[in-house]
Amino acid sequence: MSRRVKLGVLISGSGSNLQSIIDRSEDGTLAADIVCVISNNAGAFGLERAHRHNIPALHIDHRLFAGRSAYDTALVETLQQHGVELVILAGFMRIITPVLIEAFPMAIMNIHPAILPSFPGLHAQLQALDHGARISGCTVHFVDVGTDTGPIIVQAAVPVLDGDTEESLSARIQVEEHRIYPRAIQLYAEGRLSVEGRRVVITPSAPASAVSLENPAA
């Protein structure tokens, strides 16, 4: 049985994945409540999205801190003050430090616009195009100290079409991001995720469904 998990969402930009999570929370298909949205960028449109849904929206400017660890200490304090259980990175353009990771062990999720472990880091869609990949997609994973190296939760594949640009491929990948990110959070809410070494095990729901849980479309 799922419970309503308290989410803290970190953003730097428009917050389209944030919006998909808000929508699923409000329509009842996601057993989670966003208790705060934090951005390092005062002009992030995602903060406005949060305001529109009466979600506490906070700007914590990284430039006011001596370094990344000091900034992450402030993030941890704020997240804990709001009772956050699961941290969601949704276009947060900051490299997070062990300070944040150790405060929320295997309770930080990120979404990356590629089928990891291929094409980690920035401009993953452009990397796929430059390498002539025929399949791209997106990955939701738990965050560890590496760059896009944490245990993989769910993935979705997107074909690379002839004539694709970074922008057109990104747009199609984003459709899948909006679908699988809430799915991964729901699995967490249902207590169905466990990490065994490098692998995330998804426990079947009860009663067992005929639909394979290995298919993120389920």
**Residues belonging to the active site:** 112
Per-residue b/e over 58-81, b at no fewer than 16 CB within 10 Å? eebebeebeebeebbbbbbebbee
Judged on CB neighbours under 10 Å (0-12, 13-18, 19+), 95 is: exposed
Count other Cβ atoms within 10 Å, centred on residue 202: 16
Closest CA to 185 of 111, 99, 74: 111
CA atoms within 13 A on the CB side of 86: 27
Residues 205, 140, 76, CA angle at the centre, nearest 5°? 105
